[in-house]
């Protein structure tokens, strides 16, 4: 095998996303078309998608997508799940044979509600109960990885090029109001199924192009609150940061984005008093959540879509809007291939996070 320095692969990760603000459904083939145009940005060691609104018939149940590496892991993980949740459906996720994807784990999904007796005894609220169950399995059950744990949404990922991963999971059979996608070019960490993007906890999912140089500072900060970084890659920490800031601290998504990408002190010095106080407070309170390094990140959630760039703008990210839809991609051509004539196209700047809220109310239990 060629070593570092002996081979040059002209590559960097690719990310893409589409949202229909009014909740209109978009077929999976669209996002595959967009991400596959950026084929050369990934190297076949990871591809994945997150889709929101795909399980309307189970919309009030948690959808767990799980990789099992062996029978024992499968059996032990199921025992745990059946004890802590009331599971309605347990099934293999339908996949199709694709030549380039092999040696994968056994991939299952479970739909279910929390076991209320256990939850009450644990004195945790529902979100916390679910997060702790997921963390427990991923950290303590060797060979079992819950890679998707939201409601009415799901992540699909594998080792392979993203277009092959989309074909493998037959994503043209799913319709979603929000899609994100990722093509991976792993640099510092191994390419394995769990390490492909998106990373998910509850309804949050992250796709990321770049590198988190503040990873250890962020990991130390977030692990104080019970999270465990188990996926052998830097990106998962961003997922937990958002979950923590939004769910535990109740910050709006755009404020959470300002925490992660807060401006430099000399820029803060030049701001008007109100803004200066706002950013000074954010940096003082959340210094451990400040994310540094070159990155472009897209956060998917059932509330909408958030796109951020690092404050020095070291990764490319283009945005576009057309009618009710907003599009994001590492390259403009990947937007234009599915939206040839957008109303507006712009490059997301490091200083201005873009939040596209979903404008439909998430219906509570009827």
Partner 1 sequence: MSIIAGLRRYAEVNGDIKTKLLSQNKVTVEDVNGQRYLGCALDSGKTIEIHGTAGNDLACYLNGGKILLYGNGQDAVGNTMGGGQIIIHGHSGDALGYGMRDGEIYIRDNVCCRGGIHMKEFRSMKPVLVIGQNAGSFLGEYMAGGTIILLGLNMKRGEKLFGTHCASGMHGGKIYVRGAFPKENLSPNIKISSLTDEDKKELDKYVKNYCKYFGQDYEAVMSKPFKKLTPVTSRPYANLYTSN
Q: Which residues are tagged catalytic?
A: 13
Cβ proximity to partner 1: between 28 and 350 the closer is 350
Q: Is 276 in the site for partner 1 (CB under 8 A)?
A: no
Count the residues of the shown chain that bind partner 1, applying the rule CB under 8 A: 21
CA distance 17 to 328: 5
Q: Which two tokens stand for residue 62?
A: 């948690």
**Residue from 158, 336, 356, 358 that binds partner 1 (CB under 8 A)?**
336
316 forms part of the interface with partner 1 (CB under 8 A):
yes
The whole-angstrom distance between residue 158's C-alpha and the CA centroid of its chain comes to 14
SS3 content of the chain, % helix, strand, coil (to 5): 35, 30, 40
Query: Does residue 337 belong to the site contacting partner 1 (CB under 8 A)?
Result: yes
The one segment of 119-127, 140-148, 248-256, 331-339 that binds partner 1 by CB under 8 A: 331-339
- What single DSSP character describes residue 1? -
Of 45, 87, 124, 345, which lies in the binding site for partner 1, with binding defined by CB under 8 A?
345
Question: Which residues within the stretch 10-69 sit at the binding site for partner 1 (CB under 8 A)?
Answer: 10, 37-38, 40
Q: Closest approach of Cβ 313 to partner 1, in Å?
A: 4
Under the binding rule (CB under 8 A), the answer on residue 333 touching partner 1 is yes
Q: Work out whether 322 is an interface residue with partner 1 (CB under 8 A).
A: no
* Contact pattern for partner 1 over residues 228 through 267, marking x by CB under 8 A: ---------------------------------------x
Greatest C-alpha distance within the chain:
61
What Rg value do the Cα atoms of the chain yield, rounded?
A: 20
Least distance to partner 1, CB of residue 40, Å: 7
Q: How far is the CB of 326 from partner 1 (least distance, A)?
A: 18
CA 144/CA 68 separation, integer angstroms: 5
User: Is residue 313 a contact residue for partner 1 (CB under 8 A)?
Assistant: yes
Q: How far is CA 61 from CA 81, 84, 138, 228, 335, in A?
A: 13, 13, 20, 24, 33
* 186-215 binders of partner 1 (CB under 8 A): none
Dist CA 133 CA 219 (whole Å): 19
| Of the residues 187, 224, 232, 347, which one makes contact with partner 1 according to CB under 8 A | 347
Pairing verdict, β 295-301 and 344-347:
unpaired
Q: Of 25, 139, 140, 351, which one interacts with partner 1 (CB under 8 A)?
A: 351
Question: For residue 115, what are its two tokens?
Answer: 């076991």
Q: 89-92 contacts: CB < 8 A, separation 24 or more?
A: 89/58
> Which of 106, 332, 355, 360 is in the footprint of partner 1 by CB under 8 A?
332
d(CA 296, CA 310): 6
Helix/strand/coil for 249: coil
Chain residues in the site for partner 1 (CB under 8 A): 10, 37-38, 40, 267, 270, 312-313, 316, 318, 331-334, 336-337, 345, 347, 349-351
């Amino acid at each position: 095998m060629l070593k570092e320095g002996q081979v040059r692969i002209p590559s960097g990760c690719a990310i893409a996303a589409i949202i229909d603000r009014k909740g209109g459904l978009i077929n999976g083939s669209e996002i595959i078309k967009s991400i596959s145009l950026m084929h050369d940005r990934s190297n076949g060691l990871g591809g994945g998608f997150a889709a929101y609104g795909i399980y309307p018939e189970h919309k009030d149940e948690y959808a767990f997508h799980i990789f099992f590496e062996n029978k024992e892991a499968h059996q032990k993980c199921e025992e745990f799940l059946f004890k802590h949740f009331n599971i309605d459906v347990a099934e293999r996720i339908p996949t199709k044979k694709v030549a380039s994807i092999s040696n994968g784990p056994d991939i299952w999904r479970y739909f279910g509600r929390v076991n209320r007796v256990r939850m009450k005894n644990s004195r945790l609220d529902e979100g916390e109960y679910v997060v702790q169950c997921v963390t427990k399995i991923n950290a303590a059950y060797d060979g079992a990885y819950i890679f998707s744990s939201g409601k009415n949404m799901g992540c699909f990922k594998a080792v392979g090029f993203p277009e092959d991963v989309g074909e493998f999971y037959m994503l043209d059979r799913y319709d979603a109001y929000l899609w994100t996608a990722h093509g991976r070019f792993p640099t510092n960490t191994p390419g394995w199924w769990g390490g492909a993007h998106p990373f998910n906890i509850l309804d949050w999912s992250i796709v990321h192009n770049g590198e988190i140089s503040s990873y250890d500072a962020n990991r130390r900060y977030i692990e104080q609150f019970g999270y465990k970084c188990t996926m052998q890659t830097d990106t998962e920490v961003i997922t937990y940061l958002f979950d923590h800031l939004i769910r535990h601290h109740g910050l709006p998504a755009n404020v959470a984005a300002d925490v992660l990408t807060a401006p430099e002190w000399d820029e803060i010095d030049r701001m008007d008093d109100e803004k200066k106080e706002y950013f000074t407070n954010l940096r003082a309170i959340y210094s451990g959540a400040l994310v540094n390094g070159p990155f472009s990140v897209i956060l998917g959630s059932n509330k909408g879509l958030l796109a951020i760039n690092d404050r020095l703008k070291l990764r490319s990210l283009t945005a576009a809007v057309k009618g009710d839809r907003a599009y994001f991609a590492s390259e403009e051509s990947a937007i234009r291939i599915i939206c040839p004539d957008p109303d507006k196209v712009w490059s997301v700047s490091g200083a201005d996070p873009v939040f596209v809220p979903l404008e439909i109310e998430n219906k509570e239990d009827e």
